[in-house]
Amino acid sequence: MRAVIQRVKSAVVTVNDEVVGRIGPGLLVLAGVGKDDGQSDVDYIAQKIATLRLFSHNGRLLDLNVGEIGGGVLVVSQFTIFGDCRKGRRPSFDQAAPPELAESLYEALVAALQKHGLPVETGVFRAMMEVSLVNDGPVTVLLDSRKVF
């Protein structure tokens, strides 16, 4: 499982001009599921998202996690995170999970974040979405449950 995490002042996801998820200060998580992923990958990513110190406090940079600031998490599924662009001009998505597996693990990620006590909003799985955000910093980090990077 991979995640692109952005610290935001706010983020909104819309589908067909209807807002389906919205947060104020917190984290926007673009999550992709790999074809070999399972529950241990979900647990690793959820733990990291919940505990990463990405917020500043009293002049100390990157001192608090999202829960400590009372922030929200907006999780948006994005299989293109597994796009391999090393050859040719069109990404290959061979390493992305098929939709059925991806959806169940995406939902498991949302549930795991909620178990960490975080307020979680979501996009709509497999929908064309528009994501708007006000990046804070900017602060953006990448996670991979297989520790590829």
Q: What is the mean pLDDT of residues 97-107?
A: 98
Q: What is the mean pLDDT of residues 110-122?
A: 98
Share of the chain above pLDDT 70, in %: 100
Residue 145 lies in a domain: no
Q: Count of residues for the chain?
A: 149
Residue 34 lies in a domain: yes
**Domain range spanning residue 56?**
2-137
Residue 22 lies in a domain: yes
Q: What pLDDT band is residue 14 in, cutting at 50, 70 and 90? A: very high
pLDDT at 76: 98
pLDDT at 149: 86
Q: Enter the tokens of residue 46.
A: 């959820």
Residues tagged active-site: 78-80
Q: Is the pTM of this model over 0.95?
A: yes
Give the total number of structural domains in the chain: 1
Residue 142 lies in a domain: no
Residue 144 lies in a domain: no
Nearest of 144, 135, 141, 10 to residue 74 by alpha carbon: 10
CATH assignment of the domain containing 13: 3.50.80.10
Q: Which residues contact 38 (CB under 8 A, 6 or more apart)?
A: 105
Torsion angle of alpha carbons 37, 38, 44, 46, nearest 10°?
Answer: 100
Please write the tens of the pLDDT for every residue from 15-68: 999 999 999 999 999 999 999 999 999 999 999 999 999 999 888 889 999 999
Residue 143 lies in a domain: no
